[in-house]
Amino acid sequence: MLNGFYRLLLGVLHVAAAVIAVRAISIARDDPPPATISYESPSVQALGGPAIEAITYPWEQELPGWEIEFVTGAGNIAGYTWSQEQRIEVFVRPGATSSDLARIFAHELGHAVDVTKNDGDERRSWLAIRGADSAPWWPGNGLADFSTGAGDFAEAFAVWQVGAGDYRGELGPPPTPEQIELLLELSFD
């Protein structure tokens, strides 16, 4: 009887060890946490929620680990992408509409897609198809975001998601269908 008990106990311990090993392996893979979204307040959520729903790009699947924050803002900055922290902030300013916030979110999402999925060769391909081979990719030295490759890619991404209204890119006109095709290639793994 005792011998059967010990066999049963060993079997249970064996199964428990296997379960612990499987969990340890899944933790060791270092899977990124899922993408998240937060709103500073219910009134911000009332505007930001419909803005999120206007976006068709599957950012939650394509950008795991990224945090999206809608917060009250003032001044002239409408949004910001913190690439190292994998965080987007959309600033909800007085008088903003859900359509405004969708456009801002789409632009910032374009930056997140770029820094997550693209490398130098892909960025050069974007500049070439836009006819802006000599443009810098990153803002700096007093350059505005809209006058760089990064800003142009983000603006094109916003056009793809919410349309060309309020297009602000300075490297060229809104993207053509052929340019949107390349954008799609650069936006998915």
Task: Provide the pLDDT for residue 1.
Answer: 54
How far, in Å, CA of 114 to CA of 181, rounded? 15
Lookup result for tokens 């030295």: 141
Averaged confidence pLDDT in the chain: 88
Given a cut of 50, is residue 15 above it in pLDDT? no
How far, in Å, CA of 97 to CA of 134, rounded? 36
Q: Which residue has the higher pLDDT, 30 or 82?
A: 82
Task: Provide the pLDDT for residue 7.
Answer: 47
- pTM of the predicted model, to two decimals? 0.83
Q: Which of 146, 158, 66, 58 is nearest to 106 (CA)?
A: 158
Give 90's contacts (C-beta < 8 A, 6+ positions apart). 48, 51, 68, 69, 70, 71, 78, 79, 101, 104, 105, 108
CATH architecture of 36-187: 3-Layer(aba) Sandwich (3.40)
Given a cut of 90, is residue 69 above it in pLDDT? yes
Residues listed for the chain: 189
Task: Provide the pLDDT for residue 32.
Answer: 84
Task: Provide the pLDDT for residue 66.
Answer: 97
Task: Provide the pLDDT for residue 18.
Answer: 43
Q: pLDDT tens across 127-175, in order?
A: 999 999 999 999 988 889 999 999 999 999 999 999 999 999 999 999 9
Q: What is the largest CA-CA distance in the chain?
A: 84
Q: Which residue has the higher pLDDT, 41 or 17?
A: 41
